[in-house]
Structure formats: C-alpha cells, structure tokens
Structure 1
Amino acid sequence: MPRTDTTSAAPTPYLDGVAATDLARSYKHDLLAALAIEPGHHVLDVGCGPGTDLAALAAAAGPTGTAFGVDQDPDMVATARARMADRPNVQVCRADAHRLPFASNTIDRARTDRVLMHVADPAAVLAELHRVLRPAGLLTLAEPDWDTLAIDHPDLALSRAFTRYVAERVNHNHAVGRQLPRLAAHAGFTLRAVRNPAAVLTDFDTAETILGLRRTTARAVAAGYITASDARAWLEHLTTGTFFATTSFITVLAQSA
C-alpha cells in the first residue's frame, strides 16, 4: 500500500498501521508468493523498516536460509533487530541501498516495498539489486504513482490542489511507480509480471492511516497549495461525507540475468 513521507509522523507506528490494513495484507501476501522462496534461500529486504516483513521471509527461507534486512535509519534497524531477536535466521544491518553490503551473486530473492520513492537514485538501487542477486534470482518491487492520486470532493479544483501538493512535494520520486518496468529492464532484469492492484479507499479512517490526510492537509496549507479555510472545508467533507480515494500501485516481479 502507498506510504507517504513520514517526516511528520512517528515512523514505526505509521508503518505498523499501514501493514495492518487489509489492502497491505493483500498485496504483501501476493508478492511473498511471487518470490517463491525455498528453504535455504538467502532473502534480502531492502528498506526493511521496523522489520514488518522479515518474519514471513525468514519463515519461508527456513532454518537453513537467511532473511537479511537493510535500512539506512538507525532507529528502524534497532527496532527490527529487537523484533527479530528470537529468530536466528534473520540478520539486520544499517546500510545504504545504493551500496549494499553483499558480495555479487549471493542473494536468491530480494524485495523493496514502497522504498524507491524515497531514495536518491532508484536506478542505482536497482543496479545494486541486480549485482547481488544470483542468476535467475527473483525480485519484487512495489511503488505508488502519486500523480494518479484522486480523492473525491465536490470542489474538483480543491481536490486537485491537494493531490498536486502530494505529487510535487511529499515524496522524492513521486512517479516511480510507472517507471518501475523501465528501470528494472534497464538494470538488466527480465520482467515476469507487472500489475496495478490499485488502492481503493472507501473510508476516511483507513485513508488517514495510509495517507495521513490531516497532517498532509496542514502541510499543504503551510506550502501555499490551499488556504486554511479551504482546508477546513476539505477535511469537513472528507470526514463526514461519502469517502472515495484511489491511486495506482504498481508491482513488478523481475528475474536477474
């Protein structure tokens, strides 16, 4: 499921909240199955955050395999290590996704989940993933395309002002979702599946969990995209009227050469 910039939210509770939604459970289940992890595999989660998905990866790899978690945030690494302390086949380290601390051709399966929209150079990260994966290794990618965010509101101009703020200012690589197939192919991967299990949100509370609508609205006001009075009207309708929002969410299954 899409995640926005968590600068104004406590990162671990935010990520835990998103992972607990039905939408997140669904796509995570599908991507885990697509990786086809076998006992003994070395599996890499780049941008593992607080370890949300490491337990499932470790269980699939079994006691003879290893799940590696990499994140550049020391707090995320500490949380993931604490959560995985009772799993001997999980290793978590702090590292830059652009310079992965693994030898070439040593990883069997890899994944990134809503990470490339935040990195400085998605193409460089994909090149690193191709380097560390063994021949015929599998990679899953999942990223939103924030240019496609649409939120229903009677004032279409106001809705567009809000979504323009999200697209232009909230995430570093706001259109990376649509770029995934091209970037993966350029890095040397063969595309095996490209899908768009679009996020459809029909209640404000779930949208608030995933999109942080209240705090993002406040930031849009501060950035001059909408006025304070428009923001009040915007949130009043979203919280009391019939709610609908959607955005493209691109997933890719790729195979290394």
Structure 2
Amino acid sequence: MQNGNLGILIFWRRLEFGLGRPKESPGVFSHHLEVMCMGQYLVASWQGLLQYISKNMFGNGYYYWHLTELPVQRQNKWGEIDRKLIKKYDGIIDKFKRHRRKAKGEANFRYIRFEQYVFIFHTLGTLPDVYDDPFYDVRENPFILKISDSVSFKIRINGDGKVNVSFTTDTYQGFKAMLHNVAKTQNAGLLKKTFSHINGIPSPAGVLRQKKDLVDYVIRQAEKNQLRIGDGKKKRKMNRQDFWINTKSKTVKVFVDE
C-alpha cells in the first residue's frame, strides 16, 4: 500500500461533471455481507466523498486524517484489507459507543473508502496502541482533494473553526483561462455551455463565492469580445441571466448501500 502525500488525494481520471461511481468487476463488493454489521464505509461518488469529508468528518472534529491507496492489481483483496483496518482502528462504531469513548477522553476513528482510496479520520483524544500510521491535521495544512488533473478542491478550517471548501488557486485560474479563451471565439452558445459545466460542480459556500466571481469575469470577457445573444435584430449583450448559478447546496448520496 502507498501512503498519500500531505494534503493530497489524486484521482487520475477524466472529470465528467456529475460523474458517479464507475462500474467495477463483479464480486468487488461481495465482502459487504461479511461487514454489514460494521456499517457503511464504501463511498459511491467523488461528490459524496467531498460532502462527507468536509461536513461529517472535518465539520465534526475529525481533524486528523490518513490516506492509503490500495494496489489496483490486488483488487480482490480490498475487502480483506477493509476488514483489517476497520478492526485495527475500530473504524465503524455506533453513536453510543462514540459518546462513551468521548466521555472517557478517547479518540474516535472513522474508516471510509472510495474506489482504491482509503481514508481514516480521528478526533482529539487518547490514541490506541495500534496507532502507527501517519496522520495529518487539517487545521495546520489545507486538505487538497484532487478529482482530476485539472480540478481540485481545497478544504481548510477557518479561524472561527468552520470548514471552508473552495477551488484551489490552480483550478480557479484554469477556469478563468478557459472562459477567456472560449469568449475569444465569439461563440455565445459555447460560452454559456462552458460556464454551465463549471456550474455543475458542487457548490459549498467557498466554491459558490468563486462561481459568482467567475460570472463577473465571464460577463466582462463577453463584452470585451462583443458577444451577442439572440436571433436577428433582437440580439443583446450577455448578462447574468445567461450565467445562472444554482445557489442551493444539493445533498448527495454518500454510501453505496444507502
């Protein structure tokens, strides 16, 4: 198994907005029957992963995280590895046991996996003797969730203790460059479609603010390149109604067996 770099999870795959969990070979999830009593841990999509890590983990004090990438060539062993790691850290427990552990000053652990990527999170508290894997504190270094080679999210804890999710600087600047280049083609329809793809990405508060900034930017670029929209004599300048943003944060399914 290979440990991930500090603050970085890499999904080397082509991003398709709205992409769900890809199909895997039959039998990959057969071990579910053996660990159903442990609870849910297999994440269904990268959208669910982003939501769960930011809200349920970092948002609930599970500040410490560990990442391991399982070898793809040993996919038939993933279930066995799951069971061993869940047992090692007591990574799936009910709420009453969590409360009892917290009352005794012990750290609580949570185990999840998305495809070959294993995450283990834990809270503050006394650590078990088996604690021998590298864990990192999101309060000290932002957690970077890289969905593709061009789209990444930065998750950090603000000074007020709240979780902030935003595009990384590279991703944000990449979107600006893309919109700039499309605007230069003077194809209003293509510009709207390009922004719509960006708008399809989940919108936590930090991302939503960046999308609003991108709307201001794309309108300026549309005007700079004299883009007009409409038919015949009714053509008009492009405006905010052409670059609508969904301001509601949609809750998505997290686990495969929900």
Q: Normalising to structure 2: TM-score of the pair?
A: 0.25
Larger of the two Rg values belongs to structure:
2
Q: Normalising to structure 1: TM-score of the pair?
A: 0.25
